[in-house]
Amino acid sequence: MSINLMFPNESGVMQQKAAQPPYVTIIVALYKKEQPDKKTALLLAGKAIGKAGDFLHNMHPQQAASLLASLQALLDSFTRDYDPTVEGIGLYVSPGYSKLVKFPFPVQEKVHIGDAFAIRELLYLEHYAIGYFVLQVNEKTVQCYKGRLNTLQEIKDGIFPRHFYDNYEYSRPAKVSSYGGQAGVKGFERDKSITMANRLKSFYRETDRLLTNYLGELPLVIAGPKKDISLLQEVSRHQKNIIATVSGNYANGTIKALEERAWPAVKSWINEKDHSVMLQLIREERQQHAVNGIRNVWAALKDGRGRQVIVEKDYTCPAFLNNKTGKLYLKAPRTAHQIIMDAVDEVLRLAVEKGSDVLFVKNGVLQDHEHIALITRY
């Protein structure tokens, strides 16, 4: 079976590249019940490399030393730039190539050595790596950030950040008698508050208009004091883009603090899209444009009929591939065949090769569909 070899680029997204086997993939699960300390995280990664070393010395003794050196170099890099927020890491090594990928979501431990890298986690990273925007508002400043995964980058382009200057001259009440003095002051303060709120609302309305040039269909998170969030939402034309609000004043804080609040909100929104996916799958089934089960999905992809693979995040399945026909079996056929330890990974690789989309859903969601389904082109 001829498969294009897939490599993670700088952002973790898949790209093709020429290289030589063997390809070593190590997935290390760091975050289990609680966030690990640095020592524990490095110990887990070291054990995984040790396990891979045992396989390499048996399977590829001539290349084992250089590959293990590359793996250790990646671990040293992770040690130097340790990030306690990542929930897993991927070490990808082949002769002349090495890459460390950090996963901001739970992963399953894996050591894979073969003629291509394991790609499930990288595709799952793509699943989460949608672009989004964060608008940080307060009554003085609006800052706009473009986000990807758990990283934000502030936009500074002459339009953002925007500043609200309260240079309006409020008219104080005329001198009144002692009977109306207090009421006059209260009335002035009330009028001033209303005028200021209206001016601030106009500022947010203009900000929202300018935001149109950036947003498109991308999701938006609004962060700031509750009263400012409320004013912006009141005048916003982008209600369909707003997926979450994060209360608090981040104007004088670090970008890290904002990242730590915004990313979980985006991640939760992505996770909650399973319902709409299932509705789409049911509609396509009724029109006979969907197949279920790994064997049927494999066959349809081989025929070039695949439009979108939908698979449970951690679904794995061993299988057997007929060397002559290319058919997939769940029980060993009598004819010559090869064993595939994780047929799901091969299905995902085939989907990428054929230009089909891949969409992940929560474990158990596709139980009635044998854990994997395919929406077909015809």
Between CA 52 and CA 21 the distance in angstroms is 15
Q: Which of 78, 100, 127 is the last residue of a domain?
A: 127
Residues 39 and 74 in one domain: yes
- Same domain membership, residue 2 and residue 73: yes
pLDDT reported for residue 173: 54
Together in a domain, 231 and 348: no
Structural domain total, the chain: 3
Number of Cβ atoms within 10 Å of the Cβ of 224: 25
Q: With H, G, I as helix, E, B as strand and everything else as coil, classify residue 110.
A: strand
For residues 155 and 144, give the distance between their C-alpha atoms in angstroms, rounded to a whole number: 6
DSSP 193: H
CA angle, residues 361, 363, 368, in degrees to nearest 5: 90
Question: Which residues constitute the domain of residue 310?
Answer: 274-378
pLDDT of residue 252: 80
**Same domain, yes or no: 223 and 311:** no
Nearest to 354 by CA among 321, 292, 291, 308: 308
Average pLDDT for consecutive 10-residue bins of the chain (378 residues)?
Answer: 43 52 94 78 94 94 96 96 90 94 92 92 92 93 94 95 72 52 53 72 93 94 95 94 93 89 93 83 88 96 95 94 91 90 94 93 93 94
7 contacts 14 by C-beta, under 8 angstroms? yes
Q: Find the CATH number of the domain harbouring 284.
A: 3.30.1330.30
Dist CA 314 CA 371 (whole Å): 10
- Which CATH number do you get for residue 38? 3.30.960
- Pick from 89, 111, 109: nearest CA to 99: 89
Please check whether residues 79 and 151 belong to one and the same domain: no
Tokens representing 245 are: 């609000």
Which residue in this structure is represented by tokens 């004091």? 225
Single residue among 223, 255, 271 that ends a domain in this structure: 271
172 and 267 inside one domain: yes
Residue 164: the pLDDT is 85
